[in-house]
Every structure is written in C-alpha cells, then in structure tokens.
C-alpha cells in the first residue's frame, strides 16, 4: 500500500479544505469506521500531515488503517523504513514498486495495484510499463533483470517451492542472496497488505490514477 506520494503542488488552503477532519471522509474508503484525525495519537497526525503536505493528498491507506493506530504505526514503520525506502541492496525504488504491482495483481488487490502503479510510473519515468505488468507481466517490455526479479517475486507470491535454481536465476542478473530476501519480503508483506485491503474494501484515491502518466512539460503545453 502506498504511503508517500510524490510531491504535487497545491495551495495550502485547498490542501486543508480536503482534509478528513470532519465527522466522516467525503467518500467511503473503507467498510470500517475512519477516525477523526483530531482523535488520533500525535505521532500519527504528524506523519499524516507531513505526507499530505508533500504529496498534495493523503493516501486512503492512512485513513483506513488508522482504525487501529498501534497496528498502523507498526505497518508504516516496516513499509517506509525497512522495505520500500531502503538505501541498501540492488533494488531501486522503481524495482520495489514493480514487485508490488505484479504480486498485487495476482492477489487481486485494487488499491495496491492502482497506487503502486502510480509510484512506479513516477520513479521509473515509464508511463506504460506498470500497465503492461498488470495485464500480463510475462508479455511486458521488461529487461531480463526485471523479468528475473518478478519471476522470483511471483514464485514467493504463489508459495512455490523455492530451490537453488531460483537463486541462480537471480544471480545471473546481479542479485545476491540479500537481494532475494528483499524481493521475498516485499512480496510477503504486500500479501498481508493486499488481504487487509480486501477486508476493509479499501478504495484508491482518484489522484493515483493519473499520477506519472503525462510528463510535466507536456502537461504545461496548450
């Protein structure tokens, strides 16, 4: 699930007018109650404000999972610090998002497919690759390295029996055993995330659908 959208510049007044600080969010994003922001722990409110200020909107995952603050705090720490924003290993941010897209479509997770496709488009600067992966990653315009990465991620996602051949296929493309762990951890963590999205009937923000599809320079033309 996406936590930190890339910067979208909007006036502060508009940003705060869209905050879900009233009795209920303007659109239903979960089948569970969404708490008022003012009733949440300070550290969670601070994180939400930071994300909303940087990105121009608050991803619905924050609203939905705030139903259980302690679990959300643990979820956010793992997602942001240990899986998706690590500075170690050979996986780029775009790689990590592509793993989420491929495994989430297998798990039929509407929210994660839409939100992480958006982040992949931004990080990779490739506006169509995630869409290809959603339809059929085996037919997508992937590099051999990306294909090996997704083959391994999907083996984890499907709970295939992992053998030495899996690791050897990764090693041919420069991935070591620690990289394999990272790929597996992302696939495994998002298997849980996908299922929480199913439970809550989590809906993607409308903003995710258009993020990264049109280069900024083209958007200014006309």
- Kindly indicate the confidence band of residue 216, based on its pLDDT and cuts at 50, 70 and 90: low
- Kindly indicate the confidence band of residue 28, based on its pLDDT and cuts at 50, 70 and 90: confident
For residue 195, pLDDT over 50 is answered with yes
C-beta of residue 141 within 8 angstroms of C-beta of residue 129:
yes
Structure tokens at 141: 């315009």
- Kindly indicate the confidence band of residue 12, based on its pLDDT and cuts at 50, 70 and 90: very low
**Average confidence (pLDDT) over 113-124:** 97
Q: What is the pTM of this model?
A: 0.84
For residue 1, pLDDT over 70 is answered with no
CA distance 139 to 124: 18
Contact residues for 120 (Cβ-Cβ < 8 A; gap 6+): 94, 97, 98, 101, 126, 129, 130, 212
- Kindly indicate the confidence band of residue 80, based on its pLDDT and cuts at 50, 70 and 90: confident
Long-range contacts of 162-168 (CB under 8 A, 24+ apart): none
SS3 176: coil
pLDDT of residue 88: 83
For the chain, what is the mean pLDDT?
87
Q: How far is CA 115 from CA 30, 55, 81, 148, 174, in A?
A: 16, 13, 18, 23, 28
Nearest to 3 by CA among 133, 100, 68, 89: 100
For residue 106, pLDDT over 70 is answered with yes
Domains of the chain (ranges; CATH) run 90-210 (1.20.1290.10)
pLDDT of residue 16: 27
For residue 192, pLDDT over 70 is answered with yes
C-beta of residue 179 within 8 angstroms of C-beta of residue 170:
yes
- Kindly indicate the confidence band of residue 87, based on its pLDDT and cuts at 50, 70 and 90: confident
pLDDT digits (tens, 9 = 90+) for 152-186: 999 999 999 999 999 999 999 999 999 999 999 99
pLDDT of residue 203: 95
- The proportion of the chain whose per-residue pLDDT surpasses 90, expressed as a percent, equals 77
For residue 77, pLDDT over 90 is answered with no
pLDDT of residue 101: 98
Contact residues for 47 (Cβ-Cβ < 8 A; gap 6+): 62, 76
């Amino acid at each position: 699930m996406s936590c930190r959208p890339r910067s979208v510049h909007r006036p502060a007044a508009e940003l705060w007018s869209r905050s879900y600080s009233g009795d209920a969010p303007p659109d239903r994003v979960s089948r569970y109650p969404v708490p008022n922001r003012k009733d949440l722990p300070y550290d969670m409110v601070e994180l939400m404000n930071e994300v909303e200020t940087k990105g121009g909107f608050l991803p619905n995952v924050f609203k939905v999972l705030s139903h259980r603050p302690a679990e959300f705090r643990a979820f956010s720490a793992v997602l942001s610090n240990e899986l998706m924003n690590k500075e170690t290993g050979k996986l780029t941010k775009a790689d990590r998002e592509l793993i989420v897209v491929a495994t989430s479509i297998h798990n039929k997770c509407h929210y994660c497919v839409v939100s992480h496709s958006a982040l992949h488009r931004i990080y990779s600067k490739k506006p169509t690759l995630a869409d290809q992966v959603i339809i059929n990653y085996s037919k997508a315009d992937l590099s051999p390295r990306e294909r090996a990465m997704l083959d391994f991620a999907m083996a984890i996602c499907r709970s295939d029996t992992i053998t030495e051949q899996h690791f050897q296929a990764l090693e041919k493309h420069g991935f070591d055993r620690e990289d394999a762990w990272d790929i597996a951890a992302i696939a495994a963590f998002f298997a849980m995330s996908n299922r929480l999205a199913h439970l809550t009937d989590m809906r993607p923000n409308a903003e995710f659908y258009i993020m990264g599809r049109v280069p900024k320079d083209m958007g200014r033309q006309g």
